[in-house]
Structure 1
Amino acid sequence: MGLAGPETAGQPQVTPLPTLNGSNPRHDDVVGHWPEIPERSPCVAGIIPVIYYSVLLSLGLPVNVLTTVALARLAARTRKPSYHYLLALTASDIVTQVVIVFVGFLLQGAVLARKVPQAVVRTANILEFAANHASVWIAVLLTVDRYNALCRPLRHRATSSPGRSHRAIAAVFSTALLTGIPFYWWLDVWRDADPPSTMDKLLKWVHCLVVYFIPCNIFLVTNSAIVLRLRKKSQRGLQPWVSKSTAILLGVTSLFALLWAPRICVMLYHLYVAPVYRDWRVHLALDIANMVAMLNTAVNFGLYCFISKTFRATVRQVIHDAHMSCTLKSPPKGTVVELVLKSVGPEL
């Protein structure tokens, strides 16, 4: 899967734990570190990933829906491109939670015990990787927009508009879906008992480059330029050291880089050193790395609330409006009857 799901308790486990790169005279002539005799590594994480993803989905999905409504109001009110990009980022996080966390980890991995037709699994791979790519590259769009706004303000004012932002977002989503198609041939790392083929290595490196290394390099270059420009302006007394929009940008990109780093490291370690299938330590490391990476889909709400007073006020207004709507739709029992009796009382 795009982000491999947890092993289930119903699957066979092996009592002796395999050793990392253990030597065996029968395999001394084999090239590489992968032994020939398959010994499935036990899932030492047990039920913990299932509980974690259930809590993440039950808390993260409502929070992201609330974030979407709040950002939609701010985007309609201010018409700022940054709000449209943040809205698209939240929408991609919702898709990621539904496709990867619910369908991939919980439904396929835990409920169905991975007993799913191969064609369905491979089709789900496309959607999972497309969701990953969309989420990351929407953040790249946000970074480029903030760079143009701060470092090229005249050009940004002349070219930025909600329509242009919508076209850029649509292009990213379309490209993400196209770039997810090759991952139809992505192998399930939990059952990958054989040494990686050329196709396996190519897909894993494309995954690491597209999802992490290239975006992080863009984040590093543009954020560094933004910070230098803001530092110069603050020294001249032209504006504050860091604006709220810039703080949100730095927070979003930094959290992504930190939370996704473990998964990328484990993927490369799995590719060149030890398989998940036969080494319980790599198995556990990938379980933890996936859990940390998926946390990125639910933390932005807290970041926005911490930084932006405007966002907090909008969220409070959304909650208040929802509460008032529910109150008006469900009046207390007897209210309607009492009103009718009072209105016809003099005629009785």
Structure 2
Amino acid sequence: MKFRELAKQIFKIAIQCSLVASITLFLLEGTFRLYLIDFYKSSFEYLNSDFADRNTDKTLMIIGDSFSSFKGGYPKVLHDSLTGFSVKNISVPGTSIREQYLFGRYHLKNVKPQILIFQFYVGNDFLGWDHHLNWGEISFARNFYWRLSESLWSLAYLNYGLGNIKANITEPDTSAKLDWVEKPFSPDLYFERDKLYFKSEPMLVENAAYLKGGREKDFESYMQRVADLFKYASEDCEIYFLIIPHMSQVSEMYKNQAEQVGAVFTKRFEVASPSYPLYLKLNNFFADDHRVKILNTIDLLRRSEVSGNAVYFNNDSHLNVMGQQILGEFLLKEIKPNDQ
């Protein structure tokens, strides 16, 4: 009898806890989708902490992911050179247009920049929008989270916050990571997340660059959301759509390394080809928007590699310090003739 009463109490408490958790998650989801508060405010404040608060009515805004949230990266190059502008970097690692639309819209409503840089990464931005699940190779928990996060958008924010807490506890010194990624290339040392993505979709890079394997459908929905975001920019705003290629698009060496960590390519894939289908279709998509200029950086990064200056980390697919500097100088040439 006592056991039954105890079981009933436990069941009752479990139901109550589940109800509270469901209501809390529902409220969080609604608040996040409406973006009633700036959820990433502390991240943006840290990212812009080295930028001067300039007395000017001209603003350059950057929206992107981890490629644009590299502290001291290309946004810093722009800030230091374009002294007539306030630079506002609102980039968050691990985000795609799903989250970028929300916080980008929030800030574009409050600040009307003269220049907007929207950064897109060929390597995994479509994957962040639509995950290709692989139940045979990847854990049930990971597949379940990916699928659920496409419906419950706030889960990505919660995961981002937990990731920051974990990073601060396990690796408070960022120099430790830089030491790891700059060691000689090794499949064993390579960034686990990149290997996970290739396990999920081995042809991820080629599918994205050549708009196949289902990514041709993702292009339409993804870019429509980008276009919706751009509606919040003023008519006289200069918008630069900055494409960061996957390293395998830049050199044969990087392509071979990508294959060693799980990437698969067909004979159709061309290294160092700037006129790939994704780039061409982006130009067509924004052809009627006079504000938008598509920036293709494959040739830029390729020239640096040929001259002996590596632009990507050895064990991570992100741009290294040199790559960030070169990217910043490239953007200055695009922007300065009209605005400095």
TM-score normalized with structure 1 length: 0.26
More helix by share: 1
More strand by share: 2
Higher relative contact order (CA 8 A, sep 6+): 1
TM-score normalized with structure 2 length: 0.26
Larger radius of gyration: 1
